[in-house]
Structure 1
Amino acid sequence: MGKKRRRLSKKVRLDYQVAFDQFEKNQQEGIAPARPKGHQYPCPDCCGSGLLPSAAAPIKDTENYPNVAIIGGGIGGVALAVACLHRGIPFTLYERDPNFDARSQGYGLTLQQASKAIEGLGIFTLEEGVVSTRHLVHTTEGKVIGEWGVRKWVPTHAKTSSKRSNIHIARQSLRQVLLEQLGGHDKVRWGHQLTGFKESENGNIDLTFQVEGEIKNASADLIVGADGIRSSVRRLLIGEETAPLRYLGCIVILGICPLNALEGLTSPLLDAATVFQTANGNDRIYIMPYTSDSVMWQLSFPMPEEEAKTLHAQGPEAIKKEACRRTQWHDPIPQILAATQENRISGYPVYDRELLTSDILQKASQATLIGDAAHPMSPFKGQGANQAVLDALALAREISKGCRPLSQWRKAGIRESVLTAFESEMLERSASKVKDSAEAAQFLHSEIVLHEGDEPRGRCLKKKNL
């Protein structure tokens, strides 16, 4: 876990002993005093990562650990593979796409809680990451109605030195860094589309894949679905009827614009360290640094589901036209959208699912889900990739702890030894993120977003409800 416990003080130990002696004296009536534990602190040897450098790759421990089949080579799946690699947990990573660049893996993402968690994956620097230190909210006329970030409070602070700043990075860039930590692209079984899995007579899981038109078989002790919001593992495991896709009433349009395409345009908003959003109570655009020389924009607005599907199907040209029509607002928004090439634009209806409960997953003795396969959420709180990374690290750590030598996990079962504890923590941690993300899909397209205050719009809503 990357942490150590401090030794208990003499006073704490003596107080506990007195309380325990009194409990024994009273013939164990009432509740026994809890044994105190020392406070945890980051381990100085590993800098809190839980990892130590090694000149050679860890050796797979097939005797003590389960063989894990990871379905899905996105952020969550590759992160889980890396976390398993570090702990000697045998795994195979399957991805349905034929190669890394077969399709878009999303645009940019913001590492929040996961900016610390990726250190637990052996990644201590992100060369392509961009740090933001200022966040602004505007009306469509350009009036600032909210500002926060380190530059608001410490104007002379160096713009990339805040320890608590969010890190913005292209999704594919983070995925590439994770694959490098894994050992390269050839560590992934590309072109494997899962078609089914079932428990075999010997207690393993038999998996079937479609590979280049042929059916191929494999086996594992544990299958993990990391294959996104339309997860094949989830569908085969619990069916689509349980918590089906839920439309959140709006569409998102994404685009990436290089700054050199904005000829003659200068703006303090385009300094590679500022995030800004503009809204009118219905439509809302969010613009953040994508790389040091480009920005990513996210336009969203309410739209009936069928209309959103139709616009998505019409392709980038129609999507860009609609985006430009809706955003004739203050500079530099119209210029950014106009300069964005159509091949860097996409749009899609926004969905999530109702939260799963532990009892639903309990039925799966040797399978589980992580990331969007387990708890998909809207993109408006920037939590999807963050939670997937946290899921991956938590599951690998739970396997390492629950399947250690002498644990007899094969006799007890992988669910009792690992999955029940992992899923309980995952579902509890992600529940508020799913809820807040769904609420954001509503209030970011309402008058609430126009509230004047130097804080994120979600905090304004919570204060209003108090």
Structure 2
Amino acid sequence: MKTSKQNKLHWTMCLECQGLGKKKRRIRKQDRLRYQKALVVFNKSDGQGKPPTPLKHSLYPCEKCNGSGIIPSATQPIPDTDNYPHIAIIGGGIGGVALAVACLHRNIPFTLYERDHNFDARSQGYGLTLQQASKAMSGFGILELDAGIISTRHVVHTTDGTVIGEWGFRKWMQTDSQNKGKKTNVHIPRQSLRLALLDQLPSHNDVQWGHKLIDFKINEGEKTELNFQVDGQIIKTYADLVVGADGIRSTVRKLLIGEDHSPLRYLDCIVILGICPLKNLKGIESDLLDSATVFQTANGNERIYMMPFSSDSIMWQLSFPMAENDAKLLSSQGSKALKKEACKRTLWHNPIPQIMEATNESQISGYPVYDRALLTDEELSQERQITLLGDAAHPMSPFKGQGANQALLDALSLARGITKGCKWSSDWKENGIREQVLTEFEAEMLARSTSKVKDSAAAAKFLHSEIVLLKDDAPRGSTLKKNDK
């Protein structure tokens, strides 16, 4: 297993903001008086007209922790088993490890279970782009992503190389527009981000590797019983709360809701992915290969997206419509067939054909693209001690780059919710953790992620249509919205 060079620090919850990263601003006296007067007038009108809007505390970042919710500590946090429930986290991907880290910093006891036998057991995907979650990384004690690359330019081409869209920091600086303040995206290999999160734990051995969840049993008023298959044997364990962070084919979701009730939904396209070392592109000169440019090329059917994977390699994602059975067949034929198909479909402008040809077959994979129907509060609340996050809760297509971002935000939100609902009150033991934590967490998660799921599904269609060819210096989703008005 590779190790991170990042300096390891201990972190603990900021008591100033109770780990939330934000504090409530006091409501001004004049605003309270104005509201009270308006309420008196409304009550005297026998309910006629519109009632005054209740006052809400505005929030501002906590100065002590700079909005992260955690502060440096001289010692490793110790699990607080008196005040907190014990969390069983199922799945050691991005979302599961992030939740473990967020719990660790807040003294919340947890056990992280992963069915793989070790970190390198299988590929955990290719590269990902941190958008909203980039700011949230400090909430996990990660101040710098050594493997992260910031893109400063994004270009869209037709297949002959004509530029039909360009945006990013470099263009904004040139045009001196009001867009200068926009945030940049961070591109990072999925495994590098996962490793950075794992390095926050006292040891990678804190993960219970090789644990495949078989089933769980909830005893009323008691802990949830979980059964794992480990080295051919069934191991039984218990937890106060079970969190399914085990991906789009989540076992926890299947046991909780049922596969038939919420099956995989095919999005009518296939994705082929590859990673090409820049050293393989000898003699190829292009400003698109400066390790700070993201570019995509499309023809209304096929679409390729290329982004920096590391300082010395580039990742590509080719997608196109295909019948589900054909997509399954192609992906099952392996990397050689996938590369042949990708090269055949991308005889476009330089340096695309060269990149495709120079990509080693061992660095190519492909899969049909799926999501699932949106969950409802009622479906999630079927059990009082079970919840989901990340792809287990709201799987989405890769075309908006939101999967990992939403999983990270889910993890931070749940850990903060557990702190808020349990740390300062023992009511969770009497009322149940659903009433104290899960109902509010799930409502926030679904409200935040719903638009991302819908937009990602829509992108699977419009990125492979004529819409993608419209001239506009903005992401193709923005172009679609402009034309819908």
Q: TM-score, normalised by structure 2?
A: 0.91
Structure 2 counterpart of 1:170: 189
Q: Does 1:421 align with 2:440?
A: yes
Structure 2 counterpart of 1:198: 217
Structure 1 counterpart of 2:479: 460
Structure 2 counterpart of 1:185: 204
Structure 2 counterpart of 1:373: 392
Q: Does 1:152 align with 2:171?
A: yes
Structure 2 counterpart of 1:99: 118
Determine what percentage of the aligned residue pairs are the same residue. Answer: 66
Structure 2 counterpart of 1:234: 253
The one-letter code matched in structure 2 to 1:254 is L
Structure 2 counterpart of 1:220: 239
Separation (CA, whole Å) in 1 of partners of 2:325 and 2:29: 68
Structure 2 counterpart of 1:245: 264
Q: Does 1:296 align with 2:296?
A: no
User: What are structure 1's unaligned runs of at least 5 residues?
Assistant: none
Structure 1 counterpart of 2:404: 385
Structure 2 counterpart of 1:351: 370
Separation (CA, whole Å) in 2 of partners of 1:274 and 1:313: 32
The one-letter code matched in structure 2 to 1:268 is D
User: Residue 148 of structure 2 is aligned with which of 129, 154, 179?
Assistant: 129
The one-letter code matched in structure 1 to 2:328 is K
Separation (CA, whole Å) in 2 of partners of 1:363 and 1:10: 43
8 Å CA contact 1:256, 1:340 repeated in 2: yes
8 Å CA contact 1:108, 1:169 repeated in 2: yes
Structure 2 counterpart of 1:361: 380
User: Residue 86 of structure 2 is aligned with which of 67, 70, 91?
Assistant: 67
1:439-458: per-residue Cα shift (whole Å, max 9, x none)?
10001011111011111111
8 Å CA contact 1:69, 1:91 repeated in 2: yes
8 Å CA contact 1:320, 1:345 repeated in 2: yes
Separation (CA, whole Å) in 1 of partners of 2:175 and 2:287: 16
1:154 match: secondary structure: helix
1:259-287: per-residue Cα shift (whole Å, max 9, x none)?
11110111101111110000011000000
The one-letter code matched in structure 1 to 2:367 is Y
Separation (CA, whole Å) in 2 of partners of 1:423 and 1:10: 34
Taking structure 1 as reference, are residues 237 and 10 closer, same or farther at Cα in structure 2, changes over 3 Å only? Answer: closer
8 Å CA contact 1:129, 1:169 repeated in 2: yes
Separation (CA, whole Å) in 2 of partners of 1:28 and 1:411: 40
Q: Does 1:319 align with 2:338?
A: yes
Separation (CA, whole Å) in 2 of partners of 1:231 and 1:441: 22
Separation (CA, whole Å) in 2 of partners of 1:414 and 1:74: 24
2:365 match: secondary structure: strand
8 Å CA contact 1:69, 1:222 repeated in 2: yes
Separation (CA, whole Å) in 1 of partners of 2:305 and 2:61: 35
Separation (CA, whole Å) in 1 of partners of 2:331 and 2:31: 63
Range with bigger deviation, 178-187 or 189-198:
178-187
User: Residue 95 of structure 2 is aligned with which of 60, 73, 76?
Assistant: 76
User: Residue 453 of structure 2 is aligned with which of 434, 446, 449?
Assistant: 434
Separation (CA, whole Å) in 1 of partners of 2:369 and 2:53: 47
Structure 2 counterpart of 1:397: 416
The one-letter code matched in structure 2 to 1:462 is K
Separation (CA, whole Å) in 2 of partners of 1:351 and 1:108: 18
Q: What is the CA-CA distance between 1:5 and the residue it aligns to?
A: 3.0
Separation (CA, whole Å) in 2 of partners of 1:234 and 1:206: 16
Separation (CA, whole Å) in 1 of partners of 2:82 and 2:212: 29
Separation (CA, whole Å) in 1 of partners of 2:459 and 2:444: 24
1:300 match: secondary structure: strand
Q: What is the CA-CA distance between 1:168 and the residue it aligns to?
A: 0.3
Separation (CA, whole Å) in 1 of partners of 2:117 and 2:175: 49
Q: What is the CA-CA distance between 1:18 and the residue it aligns to?
A: 4.2
The one-letter code matched in structure 2 to 1:292 is S
Q: What is the CA-CA distance between 1:63 and the residue it aligns to?
A: 1.2
Separation (CA, whole Å) in 1 of partners of 2:329 and 2:458: 25
Q: What is the CA-CA distance between 1:363 and the residue it aligns to?
A: 1.0
The one-letter code matched in structure 2 to 1:116 is K
Separation (CA, whole Å) in 2 of partners of 1:204 and 1:27: 52
Q: Does 1:309 align with 2:344?
A: no
1:331-370: per-residue Cα shift (whole Å, max 9, x none)?
1101111111111110000000010111111112210110
User: What are structure 2's unaligned runs of at least 5 residues?
Assistant: 1-19
Q: What is the CA-CA distance between 1:374 and the residue it aligns to?
A: 0.6
Separation (CA, whole Å) in 1 of partners of 2:479 and 2:361: 35
Taking structure 1 as reference, are residues 395 and 28 closer, same or farther at Cα in structure 2, changes over 3 Å only? Answer: farther
Separation (CA, whole Å) in 1 of partners of 2:334 and 2:397: 22
Taking structure 1 as reference, are residues 396 and 273 closer, same or farther at Cα in structure 2, changes over 3 Å only? Answer: same
Separation (CA, whole Å) in 2 of partners of 1:163 and 1:214: 53
Q: What is the CA-CA distance between 1:34 and the residue it aligns to?
A: 5.6
Q: What is the CA-CA distance between 1:183 and the residue it aligns to?
A: 2.3
Q: What is the CA-CA distance between 1:13 and the residue it aligns to?
A: 4.1
The one-letter code matched in structure 1 to 2:264 is L
User: Residue 272 of structure 1 is aligned with which of 270, 273, 291?
Assistant: 291
2:183 match: secondary structure: coil
Let me know the Cα RMSD of the aligned residues. 1.9
2:78 match: secondary structure: coil
Separation (CA, whole Å) in 1 of partners of 2:125 and 2:368: 14
Separation (CA, whole Å) in 2 of partners of 1:203 and 1:92: 18
Structure 1 counterpart of 2:300: 281
8 Å CA contact 1:289, 1:295 repeated in 2: yes
Count of aligned positions: 462
1:207-250: per-residue Cα shift (whole Å, max 9, x none)?
00000111101000110100000001111111101120011111
The one-letter code matched in structure 1 to 2:411 is A
Structure 2 counterpart of 1:209: 228
Separation (CA, whole Å) in 2 of partners of 1:17 and 1:202: 43
Q: What is the CA-CA distance between 1:48 and the residue it aligns to?
A: 0.8
Separation (CA, whole Å) in 1 of partners of 2:412 and 2:352: 38
8 Å CA contact 1:133, 1:162 repeated in 2: no
Separation (CA, whole Å) in 2 of partners of 1:338 and 1:184: 41
